Every structure is written in C-alpha cells, then in structure tokens.
A = this chain, B = another copy of it.
Amino acid sequence: MFVYEKKLQYPVKIKNCNPKLASIVISQYGGPDGELGASLRYLSQRYSMPYPELKGLLTDIGVEELGHLEMVGTIVHQLTRNLTEEERRSNGFAQYFVDHSQGVYPQAAAGVPWSAAMMQVKGDPITDLAEDMAAEQKARTTYDNILRLSDDPDVNDVIKFLRERELVHFQRFGEGMEKLRRRLDEKNIYYMNPAVK
C-alpha cells in the first residue's frame, strides 16, 4: 500500500502563467512517454517479475515516478491557475479549457487521452526490462524537447531534475538487465521466459 507525504520530491514554484507551455508539459503527465505510463508500467510489471531484487527495483522506481507524476501535474496547474480571460481563449488552450476548465487531465500535448496501449507488460523479465530502458530514453527525449521549447527558468529547473532522474533509472534498469542476463545464462541459454513455468 501507499502512504502520501504532503510534500513534493523536488519543489515546484512557477511564478508566471503560460497556458501554451502547460499544453506542452502536460505530455509528461498523460502523454505517450509520460510519468503516468512510467509508474503504471513498473508497478504492473512487478507481479510477474520472478526475482525479489528486480521486483524491488520496479517498485522503487514505480513509486518514485508516481511522485514525478505529481510534480508534473503541479507544473501544469501552476502554469494555468490564474489565467486571464484572454489567456483562457488563446488558441490551443481554449480547446483544452472547454472540456477540462483549469483542471489537470491525463492527456498528450496533442490532446489524446492516455491509453494503456502506450505501454506493455509482457510478463517476461528480459523483455520487460528492455521495455523499461526504452521508456526511460523516451521520457528523457521528451524532457530534452521541453527544454528546447521552454524559456521559463522555474519550469526548466524542475524539468532538469526530472530528466536527471530518468538517466538514473535508465542506468539502474541497465544494471538490472545485466544481473538478469548473468543469472539466466546459467540455466536458460535461450532466454526463454523464466516467469512461465
């Protein structure tokens, strides 16, 4: 089970409203490579991961990504909480506002609601870790792109923190993959799924 601590993993303090930037950052809330997909992917893969150490890795990172989801939601909220009438009507944001007002809804920048089709749980340890390593690179690129699109130092400071964490996760999944390979080599030289007996 999960316990909530009433603070963010890293502080978010955005001074200026910017609905257009919000409409881009929201992709890390509910877009194809965002934090919702990340946390749900890892927390779902845990069940069939046969090795306690890797199950623990998935849980750790999955729980941290839940906290990142909260941080990204906070960025989107702070960028849109005090909009003027003109900002609400700005092209791009008005199409969001009509359906969600100034709420935070899990969708991609393009407006598509998040779907579990954007992630996979394959029930095979090698494959699930490969999926996770790719997911971290995809999230890293999205943060790179936000940094290319944003001039807001308050936003960019948080995005850089989140980007750094993805690199750490990529590294940790890579180490997990190495351990798993060595372990499987001993008894499963064809890498057949050890989670299915």
Contacts and interface: CB of A to CB of B under 8 A. Distances in A.
Interface of A: 1-5, 7-9, 20, 23-24, 27, 30-33, 36, 40, 43-45, 47-48, 59-60, 63, 66-67, 69-70, 73-74, 76-77, 81-82, 85, 88-89, 91-92, 94-118, 120-124, 126-128, 130-131, 133-134, 137-138, 140-142, 144-146, 148-149, 191-193, 195-197
Contacts of A116: 30, 105-107, 113-115
Identical copies in the complex: 6
B45 A103 contact: yes
Contacts of A145: 97-99, 101, 193
Contact of A3 (B3, B43, B45, B69): B3
B141 A121 contact: no
A138 B148 contact: no
A139 B88 CA distance: 19
Contacts of A4: 1-3, 59-60, 63
